[in-house]
A and B are shown apart, each in its own frame.
Chain A
């Protein structure tokens, strides 16, 4: 069957098997940052954004995303520059083997869009489906707190003196 969907703003129009899973399709299209790991919806390493919300691509049929938008980690670095979340992860030493990191970024970006000022507890809760076997999560939580602050500061840069106009 034929499906059409966007990945990181790029349109794909492809033939798929009806029972094909999104993780398989994405990897076939070259998005290898999406990891095929536990395959039982437990580890979170295959997380992608579906219309802005994190989902598990290992438990999502490609046929079901026809007409929708997918984002993988590649969507968040613009012209080779890392996003605030990615930079903070590097700076806080939150990346060791790196296997879980693409999906972690995808999930953390969704969290900060929903909730620009999360508490550490809210971060832990939101990321509870993204397992990491290296870091123990502390450095990752710190990194996301830091990224949230960076994003808030850059968003609040005044865009001209609107106050005087009104």
Chain B
């Protein structure tokens, strides 16, 4: 591979090295190096973040957790507050690749890669996560991701951390449908969070992956669900709404038509979920 590889030790060095044209940031390399390998990108320099101590941290605060840019999926899964407060995120990243991928890959890489199929990304959309950028700004993930593979990251800047606010949910659910069980990119994925009592919904969030240019939060469905009783009728209505709102494409993994039906059908898992509140 025909490029220079740099491993800065501080954020200052990182910033200087990033300012050179043709520089690409790399953390785990599980997305970047595959793109280099297949010739999709041709970097002049690859700048790695992995030696920078100030980017390698996990914080458990009263109202949020903060995940540093170089924390791998495996490190995150070992972080006790994650499974306690964000089981949805845990379930989603447990499906990412294999242990080999999770030992190197990062949630921040998943965000910046901005794939509509990003499993960590889908959970972050549902959890209203915020992205901390090196220029000091903190942006909601939904604004940070602007399109497939596109973000609002200003050139020469990098992501420092992800902030996820804590909130009590009664029910969480994540499911990814792929062509096989393991090491699979989703044909469609879904996640939801429900706050409810005696099957009556107090608050509801739902998002789909791989059915639009970005992960899709269905805000009007979320509004509609408020105050409703979780039963079959409710699920029928939601399912219909979902079918009208997702706009998938045909690709190698599945047809648009199949994806639409799949998304509508996935909603029926909720009937069982309702019994948990």
The residues of A with any CB-CB pair to B shorter than 8 Å are 18-19, 21, 39-42, 44, 47, 50, 53-56, 59-61, 63-64, 66, 107, 110-111, 124-130
B258 contact set on A, CB distance < 8 A: none
Given contacts A39-B37, A63-B5, contact A129 B48 (CB under 8 A): no
Given contacts A53-B74, A59-B34, A64-B48, contact A107 B100 (CB under 8 A): yes
Of B1, B3, B37, B100, most A-chain CB atoms within 10 Å: B100
B38 contact set on A, CB distance < 8 A: 40
Measured CB to CB, the closest approach of chain A to B117, in angstroms, equals 16
Please tell me if the beta carbons of A18 and B100 are within 8 angstroms of each other in the complex.
Answer: no
Please tell me if the beta carbons of A129 and B3 are within 8 angstroms of each other in the complex.
Answer: no
The docked-state distance in angstroms from the alpha carbon of A66 to that of B50 is: 12
Main secondary structure of the interface of B (DSSP, over half): loop
Please tell me if the beta carbons of A41 and B48 are within 8 angstroms of each other in the complex.
Answer: no
Please tell me if the beta carbons of B98 and A128 are within 8 angstroms of each other in the complex.
Answer: yes
Number of chain B residues whose Cβ lies closer than 8 Å to a Cβ of chain A: 27
Please tell me if the beta carbons of B98 and A19 are within 8 angstroms of each other in the complex.
Answer: no
Please tell me if the beta carbons of B4 and A47 are within 8 angstroms of each other in the complex.
Answer: no
> Which one, B1, B29, B34, B183, contacts A129 given CB within 8 A?
B183
B50 contact set on A, CB distance < 8 A: 64
Main secondary structure of the interface of A (DSSP, over half): mixed
Question: C-beta contact mask, B70-114 vs A, less than 8 Å → 1, else 0?
Answer: 000010000000000000000000000111110110000000000
Given contacts A41-B34, A59-B34, A63-B5, contact A125 B100 (CB under 8 A): no
Measured CB to CB, the closest approach of chain B to A1, in angstroms, equals 8
Measured CB to CB, the closest approach of chain B to A107, in angstroms, equals 7
Given contacts A47-B100, A56-B104, A59-B104, contact A19 B4 (CB under 8 A): yes
> Which one, B5, B37, B74, B183, contacts A18 given CB within 8 A?
B5
B198 contact set on A, CB distance < 8 A: none
Q: Is B2 an interface residue (CB 8 A)?
A: yes
Please tell me if the beta carbons of A54 and B48 are within 8 angstroms of each other in the complex.
Answer: no
A-B contact pairs, 24 of them (CB 8 A): A19-B1, A21-B1, A40-B34, A40-B38, A41-B34, A44-B98, A55-B103, A56-B104, A60-B29, A60-B104, A61-B48, A63-B7, A63-B48, A64-B7, A64-B48, A107-B100, A110-B99, A111-B99, A126-B99, A129-B99, A129-B101, A129-B182, A129-B183, A130-B98
Given contacts A56-B104, A59-B30, A129-B183, contact A19 B99 (CB under 8 A): no
Please tell me if the beta carbons of A125 and B104 are within 8 angstroms of each other in the complex.
Answer: no
Residue of B nearest to A59 (CB): B33
B7 contact set on A, CB distance < 8 A: 63-64, 66
B33 contact set on A, CB distance < 8 A: 41, 59
The docked-state distance in angstroms from the alpha carbon of A56 to that of B46 is: 18
Measured CB to CB, the closest approach of chain A to B33, in angstroms, equals 5
B98 contact set on A, CB distance < 8 A: 44, 127-130
Closest 5 A/B residue pairs (Cβ): A129-B98, A128-B182, A18-B5, A19-B1, A53-B103
Please tell me if the beta carbons of A50 and B99 are within 8 angstroms of each other in the complex.
Answer: no
The docked-state distance in angstroms from the alpha carbon of A47 to that of B183 is: 15
